[in-house]
Amino acid sequence: MFTRYSFGVFLSVLLVTSSSSPSQAVDIPTNRLESNPLTLKVVPGKATTLHFDNGEVIEHFVVSDDSQLIYNTNQPPGQATTFILRQTEEIQTPGATTTSEPNIIINTRSSNGDTNVYQVVVQFAKIVPDSELLWRVIPPSYSPTEQTVDTALGQANLKHLQLGLAHLLSTGQLNNDDEITKQLRTLFVKAKFMTLDEAAHQANVPLQVLNKLGEIGLKAQSEKLNFLVPLVRQGVPSIKIGEPVDSSDSSDSSDLSPQKEE
């Protein structure tokens, strides 16, 4: 009897799961898949594969219209990491509805128990480049312009924060061996793989420090940085983080060190 879905290992599964990291795969970060549906193209005679290389396993999935699809996973639910799609001749099923672009809802679970729901849209095509037949879901990855923090001067992104730190270092207001410098550099590395809030928490950087650093970066970028922002050092006046900076008064300064509550 013909079965559309089985856990049997066939040639296409062997080809795409022969290694833990498929070669020539298109990488898609987890955060991108969370925010936008992924479009997978299928073509007659070839298999299209979605491989989870981010530590998640497939627990459950639903295919909205399987009249032209055969689908498999490399393992049973709860263990599967690879989803395989193949196109077939259309088979009419009494009472079933069809669509030109079926969607697939995939439920996953991570090693620490977190769950995710992803949506895949299937497009039927006549020609698909081999480079688009293997897709790999990788850990989150964020570009510097995606990571933003609200400041009194508007929204600053990670590049503004880095520019702010560079300004403080170049003007001698921060040193490379200062603890806050080390914490910020740790944050910049972590922010490539997690949200800015998460990175700040793990690097022990208060958000108010990011707000002030973002302001400095924004002013530096607009070439209007005509004020001093030294750290609190002996004999150097300072203002608390969160207070507005008056660029017209060059004597104003701010402290990027974490403030203790009184």
CATH number reported for the structural domain that contains residue 124 in this entry: 2.60.40
Q: Does one domain contain both 30 and 96? A: yes
Domain boundary, last residue among 82, 110, 138: 138
133 and 169 share one domain: no
Average pLDDT over residues 186-200: 90
Average pLDDT for residues 111-126, to the nearest whole number? 95
Domain boundary (138, 153, 169) is at 138
On whether both 235 and 252 belong to a single domain, the answer is yes
Domain count, the chain: 2
Q: How confident is the model at residue 168 (pLDDT cuts 50, 70, 90)?
A: very high
Residue 118: name the closest of 49, 54, 34, 58 by CA: 34
> Average pLDDT, stretch 232-256?
39
pTM > 0.75: yes or no: no
pLDDT > 80? residue 244: no
The whole-number pLDDT of residue 223 equals: 65
- Taking each helix axis as running N to C, give the angle between helix 207-221 and helix 179-190, from 0 to 180 degrees, rounded to the nearest 10: 80
Q: Are residues 10 and 127 in the same domain?
A: yes
Are residue 164 and residue 70 in the same domain, yes or no? no
Check whether residue 121 and residue 191 sit in a common domain: no
| Residues 247 and 123 occupy one common structural domain | no
* 178 and 99 share one domain: no
Q: Specify the higher pLDDT residue, 155 or 2.
A: 155
- Check whether 155 has a pLDDT greater than 90: yes
26-78 pLDDT per residue, tens: 999 999 999 899 999 999 999 999 999 999 999 999 999 999 999 999 999 99
What residue type is assigned to position 230 of the chain? P
14 and 115 share one domain: yes
| pLDDT exceeds 60 at position 163 | yes
Tokens 């590395």: give the residue.
189
219 Cα distance to chain centroid = 28
Same domain, 35 and 97: yes
Q: What's the mean pLDDT in 199-224?
A: 89
Q: What is the residue range of 39's domain?
A: 5-138
Beta strands in the chain (DSSP E): 5-6, 26-29, 38-42, 47-52, 57-63, 69-73, 82-87, 103-109, 115-124, 134-138, 148-151, 154-157
Q: Are residues 12 and 99 in the same domain?
A: yes
| 175 contacts: CB under 8 Å, gap ≥ 6 | 169, 181
Burial of 117 (0-12, 13-18, 19+ CB in 10 A): exposed
DSSP state of 130: G
Domain boundary among 138, 169, 193: 138
Average pLDDT value for the chain = 81
168 with 131, same domain: the answer is: no
